[in-house]
Amino acid sequence: MTKKSHSVTIRQVAQKAGVSVATVSRYINRNAPISDKVMKRLAKVMTDLQYVPHTAARNLASQKTHTVGLILMKIHRDFFAPLLSGVETVVSEHNHILLVATSDPEKGDNNIVAVGAHNTDGLLIFANSLNNEQIQQLYKKKIPMILIHGSAPDGYVVPRVTVENKMATRNMMDHLIEVHDRRNIIFMRGPKKQEDSYWRETGYKESLESHGIVYDERLVLTGEFDREVAYKSLKEFLGCEQRPDFDAVFSGDDDAAIGVFQAINEAGMRIPEDVSVIGFDDFRLAPYLNPPLTTVRAPTEEVGRVAAEQLFRLLEGKEVEEITLLSTDMILRRSCGCEL
């Protein structure tokens, strides 16, 4: 039988989790760094034992922790720096603490999330960091939350903040076709079930169709918004003897574009003389690549700021827009062939 919270001590939690009492204390008070692995184990043990720390009990009594959580899949990519900056600015303005946790349902992190109702007043949830079941559970618990670059499960209304992807991609494809006469364009597909990836591929297909270019599945490669994946995928494609001709690459995002640059350079091809390359996001290194990267500028920092502002509106009992769609801009540099 599961023990009741009033009979469970911090020492019992530490013993079951295989850590010291001091580590449990650091986890509860968030006053020192702890590895993701230990945080997830402690979160599971505390849930299994129904343990409520004294500090959490006081928070529950006042119904305020003055803390908000941000859940991401991973934070090592350059993309997340401006997003975090935007979120943190707003959180600080509201005199709250920001807790950042990582979660990946694809790796089996079901129901084991380091932040939630026990230590935050509300959550910002990045695309694909929680699965539909987890979002449904949070919704049923009436936890205020804002989704970033993702949508709620069918039948659930959760506010979300994202950027315009489809027309941005279509406009960039139109530019490649109409200005630079590129017609055999590789598309580096992003993560499966990721909305940004879906809408960018939709824009790619619509542009091809509007110009009478037949969609060729052989020119759609795996990119995953990741430089290593994009590099290996394009490298393998270039090594195929019967591969179709190509004269441009839509990299999916700027991180993948780095891998694309490397694979093309190693093949002895020139950018943009032989192959045009475009990205998406306009991350901080884009203008410094050789040649500078043509890309779509997405307001990533603004996404973080607006999402945090929306969350605080929810916490204050105010209404928010169900969908906030931020505009993007086309940034032309030399990698597509423009002489700027």
Position 125 pLDDT exceeds 90 = yes
- Let me know: does 99 contact 115? Beta carbons within 8 Å: yes
Position 306 pLDDT exceeds 90 = yes
Q: What is the CATH number of the domain that holds 24?
A: 1.10.260.40
pLDDT of residue 56: 54
Residue range(s) defining the domain that contains residue 34: 1-63
- Let me know: does 49 contact 3? Beta carbons within 8 Å: yes
Q: Helix 36-49 and helix 10-17: axis angle, to 10°?
A: 120
Q: Which amino acid is at 39?
A: M
| DSSP designation for 9 | -
Higher pLDDT among residues 47 and 309, named by residue? 309
Q: pLDDT, tens digit, for every residue of 198-208?
A: 999 999 999 99
In whole angstroms, give the CA distance from residue 285 to residue 205.
28
Establish if 71 belongs to a structural domain. Answer: no
Tell me what percent of the residues of the chain surpass a pLDDT of 90. 69
174 with 59, same domain: the answer is no
**Residue that is last in its domain, among 63, 80, 100:** 63
Q: Which amino acid is at 259?
A: G
pTM for the model stands at 0.79
In whole angstroms, give the CA distance from residue 188 to residue 264.
14
Establish if 101 belongs to a structural domain. Answer: no
| Phi and psi, residue 227, nearest 5° | -65, -40
Q: pLDDT, tens digit, for every residue of 52-88?
A: 666 555 454 456 778 999 999 877 678 899 999 999 9
Q: pLDDT, tens digit, for every residue of 16-49?
A: 989 887 788 777 766 567 787 888 888 888 888 8
Which one, of 50, 94, 35, 40, lies nearest residue 68 by Cα? 94
What count of other Cβ atoms lies within 10 Å of the Cβ of residue 25? 15
Establish if 224 belongs to a structural domain. Answer: yes
pLDDT of residue 37: 84
Q: What is the CATH number of the domain that holds 212?
A: 3.40.50.2300
- DSSP percent split of the chain into helix, strand, coil, nearest 5: 45, 15, 40
Establish if 31 belongs to a structural domain. Answer: yes
Establish if 104 belongs to a structural domain. Answer: no
Tokens of 95: 């005199």
Tokens of 71: 């859940």
pLDDT of residue 249: 98
Establish if 112 belongs to a structural domain. Answer: no
**Residue that is last in its domain, among 38, 63, 88:** 63
Q: pLDDT, tens digit, for every residue of 261-300?
A: 999 999 999 999 999 999 999 999 999 999 999 999 999 9
Establish if 281 belongs to a structural domain. Answer: yes
Q: pLDDT, tens digit, for every residue of 126-171?
A: 999 999 999 998 998 899 999 999 999 999 999 999 999 999 999 9
Angle among Cα 77, 162, 256 to the nearest 5 degrees reads 30
In whole angstroms, give the CA distance from residue 154 to residue 152.
6
* Beta pairing, strands 220-222 & 160-163: unpaired
Q: What is the largest CA-CA distance in the chain?
A: 73
What is the count of structural domains for the chain? Answer: 2
